[in-house]
Amino acid sequence: MTVRKIACRACHGTGMLSDDEGWQYTCSVCHGNGIENRVASNRNVRIMEVDENNRLLD
């Protein structure tokens, strides 16, 4: 495993999400690659930066 790639928290690295009815669709956070990208979504930049700083050290 590499420590520089962060598994997407929205889809847990699978690249897919499912809703309550079981429909699966491509994760909109990581665009289906399962890896978080800090520049993927501007609205999440602040939150993601905080999470990285706090959680990567766990």
Long-range CB contacts (within 8 A, 24+) of 47-55: 51/9, 52/6
Q: Interaction with Zn ion in 22-51: which residues (CB under 5 A)?
A: 27, 29-30
Q: Which of 10, 41, 44, 51 binds Zn ion (CB under 5 A)?
A: 10
CB neighbourhood size of 46 (10 A): 9
To Zn ion, the closest distance from the beta carbon of 21 in angstroms equals 19
* 11 lies in the site for Zn ion, by CB under 5 A: yes
Residues that bind Zn ion (CB under 5 A): 8, 10-11, 27, 29-30
